[in-house]
Amino acid sequence: MERHAQPARVTVGPQGRLVIPAELRREMSLSSGDVLLAAVEGQRLVLEKREAVLERVKRRFSHISPDVNLADELIAERRAEARREEEG
């Protein structure tokens, strides 16, 4: 895991709002209106830029040929499973 800026103290405000300190916003090149995705990992709250999540997902599936339609493959697998259940 890559770490740059020193940990910053963040307080949960009214209505659960967080203010990201300026140093961390600069470190991540965050601007007003940027979209972050939030996830809980164990006891950690992880905030990521939407673009970073999309890039990670693209890398994860980059080994799959663009000619392959994963939705069609999933539907075919589900239909085959349904046929096996009907026959069994």
Identify the CATH number of the domain in which residue 43 sits. 2.10.260
What CA–CA distances, in Å, run from 44 to 24, 41, 70? 17, 5, 32
**Is 32 inside any structural domain?**
yes
DSSP, residue by residue, 14-60: GGG-----HHHHHHTT--TT--EEEEEETTEEEEEEHHHHHHHHHHH
**Is 84 inside any structural domain?**
no
Give the model's pLDDT for residue 1: 58
Give the model's pLDDT for residue 66: 87
What is the total count of domains within the chain?
Answer: 1
60-70 pLDDT per residue, tens: 988 988 898 98
Domain that holds residue 57: 14-63
**Is 36 inside any structural domain?**
yes
**Is 34 inside any structural domain?**
yes
> Distance between CA atoms of 76 and 72, rounded to whole angstroms?
6
Low-confidence spans in the chain with pLDDT less than 50: none
